[in-house]
Chains A and B, each alone.
Chain A
Amino acid sequence: MGQLLAFLVKYRAFFIFLFLELICISLIVSNNDYQRSAYLKSSSSLIGSITESSDNIGEYFGLKRVNRELAEENARLRELLLSSPKTISDAISNYTIKADTADSMEYILRSAEIVSNDIRKANNFFIINKGSKDGIRPEMGVVSPSGVVGKIRSVSKNYSQGISMLNTRNSFSAKHKNSNRIGTIQWDGLDPKIAKLLFITPDVSMQVGDTIVTSSFNAVFPKDLIIGTVKKSARDANNTYLNIEISLSVDFGKLSYVYVIENVRKEEQDSLSNANPIAIR
């Protein structure tokens, strides 16, 4: 016993080292599991408010660009409004019963502002300035006017943290618009402007410039939201799949305002697929 104690005391530095590293490793592990919310959260209100106020300074320099983007989006929405059919003043149509609006209302959009955003790490996250107070919950999708950004991971009262599409542990279901083939978008950790589209077989004619959109195979995003365009496409060594590089439509380095998408029927969809565990996701 005495010898054991003497041993422990002699190498106490090493044991303290092991103990502290174990604390760190448990923190890393509990935080990497992105479904579970860990005790220490980067989305906590103190951290959020500090990063937000430091971000405010940088924001002044981006105001011109943000204004232009918002104006462009306004113009696009106005165009949509004009192209939608005008109300017909025909007497008969007054008696037609409109479809139930609850049927069509499947998604709710909430606007939010990016408070902090990384693009240079292998696993990138962002923080937005809306939290549980505003109805944000984990697993909601985040989009910007120019395309898909990511999904929410953990939520505090006023802030939420999201997993960016630029995260090597994150993948999205995507669709090639021309052929309707489904693949998986995965970022490879190199270039924040380029992602990979996996599992597309060589029989699909994939042209440079083709549009890649979200599929309807997940309950996070509505279908046909733009993700990016094909930049390069080549067969892989075994001729099983195509190596496709997508240039992302969102410039993650300049992200400022985003929308959080709530799927009203997500729970119902998820409970259905959980009840049938063999179901294809």
Chain B
Amino acid sequence: MNRRIFTLIVSLVILVPLQVLVFRHFVFFNLGFCFIYLLFLLSLPREVSIGLGMVIALIIGIIIDLFYQTIGIHAAAGVLIMFLKPYWLNMNVPRSGYEINHLPLIPNYGLAWFIGYSLPLILIYSLAVLFIEAGNTGLFWIILSKALITTVVTLFFVVILQYLFYSKSR
């Protein structure tokens, strides 16, 4: 229990500065951004209530927005995925079922399940951020390709970070 909270706090303290200081400057293939801090939102356990999850997403989103100079956009997208996350978790139960006090991450439930869980959420997030930011659908295809590349890049880094730094809960 304590270990789980410790993991969450450490990942928050590391991921948000990593996002705004390092990954903000990275653009992959001239199209894709990397929203590494989504790993924190994705790793919030099922026991966190939906309302609290959305408030957390709002606060972190606004902090990210202040650095990206897009006030409200990342916050709106974050609140959206935190609203969808519990329903998606209930629909997409791993074969062995959920265990209490386990973070929904690769070390606990495996890579295949995690990709199935996180890919749609990251895609929805990227689409929301990029379309709200553009403010119209005039650049539809460009934004769609940006969102797809952003999703792949973000998922890649989210998976790599877990293999490097997260260990199995006991």
Contact = CB atoms under 8 A, between A and B. Distances in A.
A116 B69 contact: yes
Contacts of A127: 69
28 contacts: A17-B79, A20-B58, A21-B76, A23-B58, A23-B75, A24-B58, A27-B71, A28-B71, A28-B72, A28-B132, A31-B72, A40-B62, A42-B68, A42-B69, A42-B71, A44-B66, A50-B20, A50-B67, A116-B67, A120-B30, A120-B31, A121-B70, A123-B70, A123-B133, A127-B69, A168-B135, A189-B142, A190-B139
A243 interface: no
Given A21-B79, A54-B21, A16 B50 contact: yes
Contacts of B80: 17, 21
Given A21-B76, A40-B66, A122-B130, 19 more contacts: A14-B83, A16-B50, A17-B54, A21-B79, A23-B75, A24-B58, A28-B73, A40-B62, A42-B69, A42-B71, A47-B67, A116-B67, A120-B33, A122-B133, A123-B135, A127-B69, A188-B139, A189-B134, A190-B139
Contacts of A31: 70-72
A272 interface: no
Contacts of A168: 134-135
Interface in A69-117: 116
Interface in B27-84: 27, 30-31, 33, 50-51, 54-55, 58, 61-62, 65-73, 75-76, 79-80, 83
B83 A13 contact: yes
A190 B71 CA distance: 22
B95 interface: no
Contacts of B73: 24, 28
A269 interface: no
Closest 4 A/B residue pairs (Cβ): A27-B72, A24-B76, A28-B72, A122-B134
Nearest to B74: A24
Contacts of B58: 20, 23-24
B61 to A, nearest CB: 8
Interface residues of B, number: 38
A188 B143 CA distance: 13
Contacts of A17: 50, 54, 79-80, 83
Contacts of A32: 135
Contact of A122 (B31, B33, B61, B139): B139
B25 interface: yes
B89 to A, nearest CB: 13
A189 B58 CA distance: 27
A84 to B, nearest CB: 41
A25 interface: yes
A16 B71 contact: no
A125 interface: yes
A273 to B, nearest CB: 28
A114 to B, nearest CB: 13
A224 interface: no
B79 A40 contact: no
A25 B27 contact: no
Nearest to A13: B50
B35 to A, nearest CB: 13
Nearest to B27: A120
Interface string B1-35: 00000000000000000001100010100110100
Contacts of B138: 189
Contacts of B75: 23-24, 27
Contacts of B31: 120
A118 interface: yes
